[in-house]
Amino acid sequence: MFFRSLDIPGAYLLELELLEDERGFFARAWCAREFEARGLNPRLVQCSISFNKQRGILRGLHFQTRPHEEAKLVRCTSGGIYDVIVDLRTDSTTFRQWIAIELTAENHRMLYIPEGCAHGFQTLRDRTEVFYQMSEFYEPRAVRGVRWDDPALAIRWPLSQPILSERDLGLPILADALKTSAEGR
């Protein structure tokens, strides 16, 4: 695996080292030692899959509060996504900044999202599947989110008129989300 640090501290783009022959390829997609060597959280306790029927579905921006903050490793296994990380760590030099990476089944890229960051994506193709590996268990009481269209973030999503769940449509703007997280609700 090749690790490329991104503009948000602790966030990495991972590219697989493909060992190819006439049959296809083999690649290692996880190695705790390589993550530890870079100071990344090597703990994996849960894996999830998100299947999305249509192009334009937007999921996010989601995160979990302390003590259930989670690092995520995300890979698109079918289709393609525009994957977004927002730094919510108030002590970070990139607080409130975001980055986006296109992940597709063909480019085999993975995105490492550190604890304290919100995550979301928009599907670029029909029938898109996303595979997540997380460092913490899902804790419903710790789940929070930020509106996808918060003007304070000004995220440039690739497709207009996204398809959102009722839950994601009701997420607060960043200022309110941070206030609620600090209050521990």
Condensed to tens digits (0 to 9), the pLDDT of residues 98-144 reads: 999 999 999 999 999 999 999 999 999 999 999 999 999 999 999 99
Q: How much is the average pLDDT of 149-176?
A: 96
Domain that holds residue 96: 2-183
Q: How much is the average pLDDT of 166-183?
A: 86
Domain count for the chain: 1
The one catalytic residue in 62, 112, 119, 138 is 62
| Sign, Cα dihedral of 44, 62, 104, 109 | negative
Q: Is 132 a catalytic residue?
A: yes
Spatial distance between the Cα atoms of 107 and 109, rounded to a whole number of angstroms: 5
pLDDT band at 185 (very low <50, low <70, confident <90, very high): very low
- The residues, any chain, with a CB within 8 Å of residue 97's CB and separated by 6 or more, are 7, 8, 86, 87
Q: Is 119 a catalytic residue?
A: no
Q: How much is the average pLDDT of 92-99?
A: 97
3-state SS of 65-132 is CCCCCCCEEEEEEECEEEEEEEECCCCCCCCCCEEEEEEECCCCCEEEECCCEEEEEEECCCCEEEEE
Q: How much is the average pLDDT of 135-159?
A: 97
Q: How much is the average pLDDT of 10-14?
A: 98
Tell me the pTM: 0.94
The one catalytic residue in 12, 82, 119, 132 is 132
pLDDT at 33 (0 to 100): 96
Element (H, E) at 134: strand 128-134
CB contact at 8 A, 138 and 75: no
CB contact at 8 A, 162 and 169: no
pLDDT band at 7 (very low <50, low <70, confident <90, very high): very high
Give the domain CATH number at 139: 2.60.120.10
pLDDT band at 64 (very low <50, low <70, confident <90, very high): very high
